[in-house]
Structure 1
Amino acid sequence: MRKIVLSLVVIASVLTACKSEKKEKVEVKEAVKVEAKSVSLNNVDVTASVLNWKGTKPGGAHDGTVSLKSGGLLLENGKLTKGEFVIDMNTITNLDMKGSNGAGKIEGHLKNADFFDVAVYPTSKFIITKVEEVAGKLAVTGNLQIKDVTKSIVIPATISTEAGVTTFTSESFNVDRADFNIKYKSKSFFKELKDKFIDDIMEMSFVVKTKA
């Protein structure tokens, strides 16, 4: 009997630990008003810059990249003050199944109306509205636009310059796709999915480099 009780205690502890590992999403707020052309400087090297993504579901995960269409980073006295990244949604690429038919199916599904509806919304944007230093890192506030929804979020990042190239690198941040009205197999919209859902949390990170 004692062994059974101990086993139940262990199982309960494991389940509690698993629940505590739930991914924290970035807080979304109303978009910050910015000038129509907050950054006119198109100095980002789009061939060396990327948005990384990862999505999960029960028993699996997929990851990949999206290229930038254009972008600019503005530094004043060596400090980042403004920036704008235009993301080319037509370049959504799946990496974990690269080279297989599965990758093409995933890319096509992400581009269609179930998810990002690329035919209607060919670009997304991240416009930096405020930059603060916190504990040696940057807390970067920006307007994230996905489809027809724009929200203000804060992401942690670092910036460095070497040989005339400035690199903006964000840490991974978690975006809730439900905040951007992406409904496909989302428990936020469909409660009866049981284990047939896709997680609302999308993990993202930027690596953006300027031209030399």
Structure 2
Amino acid sequence: MKKFKSIALALVVVLSAVSVTAQTKKVDVAKSTINWTGKKVTGQHEGTINLKDGALVFKGKKLVGGTFNVDMTSLLATDLKAGQGKEKLEGHLKSEDFFGTEKFATATLVFKKLVTKAPNVYTVTGDLTIKGITKPVTFDLTTTANTASSTVIIDRTKYDIKYGSGSFFDNLGDKAISDEFTLAVALKF
């Protein structure tokens, strides 16, 4: 009987040590959105950019990882209409002055560290690569059973995007562009 109890106890210990299998949830890129806002002294511009693909990794209900690829060539301005400078702004943002999309068609984000902030809210630190330059970025991400959302603030100058930056150029006056831009991300999976 003692031997049976020892085996049963060992079995319980082994079963409790088995971790929950990770589940990868692919992002539905057609139903997910990324809206950007860039500010300048005289106002701001807004637009969209598309995900190529992405996935969040869960163990049970806990978020443990994520990877995303963004199609930089899909960058659009939504605050302007054709003939109001829309094409000029989009062309400039895709040029070497900004994102250089001809050479750097994809930006990537890989989650490196996740800390639970509240139920279904995580502080994420990830490696963000824009224009071939990888830097850490930290933001909060809120999840539900089939969605995730975040607002991410990115300092463009860390990715060698210095055009119109008052941090690098003097006498820009009302032509200065904020170093930071904001992404409002809404994912469905």
Is 2:173 aligned against 1:190? no
Return the alpha-carbon distance in structure 1 between the equivalents of residues 173 and 88 of structure 2. 24
Shift of 1:173: 2.8
Question: Which ranges in structure 1 are unaligned for 5 or more consecutive residues?
Answer: 1-38
TM-score (norm 2): 0.81
Cα RMSD (Å): 2.0
Return the alpha-carbon distance in structure 2 between the equivalents of residues 79 and 119 of structure 1. 38
More strand by share: 2
Partner of 1:15: none
Return the alpha-carbon distance in structure 2 between the equivalents of residues 125 and 98 of structure 1. 29
Q: Is the 8 A contact 2:50 2:71 kept in 1?
A: yes
Q: Is the 8 A contact 1:174 1:204 kept in 2?
A: yes
Structure 2 residue corresponding to 1:139, chosen from 105, 123, 141: 123
Partner of 1:206: 185
Structure 2 residue corresponding to 1:157, chosen from 111, 132, 141: 141
Aligned partner letter, 1:47:
A
Matched ranges for 1:96-135 at <5 A: 96-135=79-118
Q: Is the 8 A contact 1:144 1:152 kept in 2?
A: yes
Partner of 1:177: 156
Q: Deviations over 1:64-116 (max 9, x none)?
A: 11000111111110111111110000100111114544222211111011100
Shift of 1:187: 1.4
Return the alpha-carbon distance in structure 2 between the equivalents of residues 108 and 59 of structure 1. 20
TM-score (norm 1): 0.73
Larger radius of gyration: 2
Question: Which ranges in structure 2 are unaligned for 5 or more consecutive residues?
Answer: 1-21
Give the % identical residues.
38
